[in-house]
Amino acid sequence: MLLGRGAGQEYGGKTGIMDSYVHGYHPRENERLQDQAGVLVELLHSDTVYPAGTSVLEVGCGIGAQTVTLAQRSPGASLTSIDISGESLAQAHQRVAEAGLTNVQFGQADIFDLPFRVESFDHVFVCFVLEHLSRPADALAILKQLLRPGGTITVIEGDHGSAYFYPRSAAADEAIRCLVDLQRKAGGDALIGRRLYPLLVDAKFEGARVSPRMVYVDSSRPELVDGFTKKTFTAMVEGIREAAISAGLIEQERFDVGIRDLYRTAEADGVFCYTFFKGVAVKGRGRRYKPKATPVRPARHRAGSQAHRGMMSEER
């Protein structure tokens, strides 16, 4: 499948990936990703199983945090896992090897310049990737090309605007907002979970279904207190401390108060909630979808209403 004119080349090969991965590639971030994957396995992946003999493309596999789970749950399926980072792929390969899995192959590729032929895969799996793209709609259109008719796409994303907790803290809200703002400045969208359904529909997938997957944490669930509240979410926000302060988004003291208050929600009387969104849709058996181009109208037609002009320029 790694031959021929690749899907995505008709988009000019222009990357739509953020200028930088806002969370960084340092060892602590890798550890956080593993913690996240470990505590969320059942919540996110309990209903993701691929039939034996099918081919699955995992896009943006990173260090393999989700790859191992996918391969273990679908031992008869053949997985192709790709990422743009060679360093991350090396770690993913090691994790898969340590787990004794033999149904995964890896490749380094840009989602906007993929080396696969059209209609090469039965299923596509995308987890925590669209939030880092400046052109998520185009990415979905490209991935749709790679699916065989009747194939499925599964997309999982978070939404940092869904976080709420007790005790309440304005400083913690501001620290979280720094992460949202940094990701937006880099070209991504930390609130993309709420957009999954319209994105799938606009890409002309059929039968789109999106389900919210809430993580609810209190002291009666100590594994989530440690694995999610502390080591996943709060660690993620804490990880952008220097970037947020350097960008002038918040004062150092205020950010530190916010992080302290997030850790406070992990105490005996604390509560933390966060919602992920999981979308599943099918590629129909009609013609291949191509993004709609904004029509160029003659000058005499450009005096339309502001609302109409806004609709015509809406990004697809």
- pLDDT tens digit sequence for 225-237: 999 999 999 999 9
Of the pLDDT bands very low, low, confident and very high (cuts 50, 70, 90), residue 287 is: low
The answer on pLDDT for 141 being more than 90 is yes
Tell me the pLDDT tens digit for each residue of 49-87.
Answer: 999 999 999 999 999 989 999 999 999 999 999 999 999
The answer on pLDDT for 19 being more than 80 is no
Phi, psi of 119 (to 5 degrees): 55, 45
Mean pLDDT of 162-176: 98
pLDDT of residue 291: 47
Residue 49: name the closest of 71, 80, 67 by CA. Answer: 71
pLDDT of residue 7: 58
Look at 36 and 282; give whichever has higher pLDDT.
282
The answer on pLDDT for 305 being more than 70 is no
Say how far apart CA 311 and CA 75 lie, in whole Å.
46
Residues 6 or more apart whose Cβ sits within 8 Å of residue 117: 1, 3, 4, 5, 6, 7
The answer on pLDDT for 13 being more than 90 is no
* Per-residue tokens: 33: 């990703």
pLDDT of residue 8: 55
pLDDT of residue 6: 52
pLDDT of residue 303: 35
Could you tell me what percent of the chain has a pLDDT over 70? 78
To 10 degrees, the CA torsion angle through 256, 231, 157, 258? -10
Of the pLDDT bands very low, low, confident and very high (cuts 50, 70, 90), residue 39 is: confident
Of the pLDDT bands very low, low, confident and very high (cuts 50, 70, 90), residue 304 is: very low
Tell me the pLDDT tens digit for each residue of 190-212.
Answer: 999 999 999 999 999 999 999 99
Residue 128: name the closest of 209, 183, 205, 47 by CA. Answer: 183
Phi, psi of 144 (to 5 degrees): -65, -35
| Least confident stretch, 4-8, 158-162, 222-226, 295-299 | 295-299
Say how far apart CA 132 and CA 162 lie, in whole Å.
18
pLDDT of residue 16: 55
pLDDT of residue 285: 84
The answer on pLDDT for 31 being more than 70 is no
> What is the DSSP-derived secondary structure letter of residue 287?
P
Per the listing, tokens 């100590």 go with 222
CA distances from 16 to 40, 130, 142, 170 (A): 28, 10, 12, 33
| Least confident stretch, 20-29, 196-205, 210-219 | 20-29
The answer on pLDDT for 18 being more than 80 is no
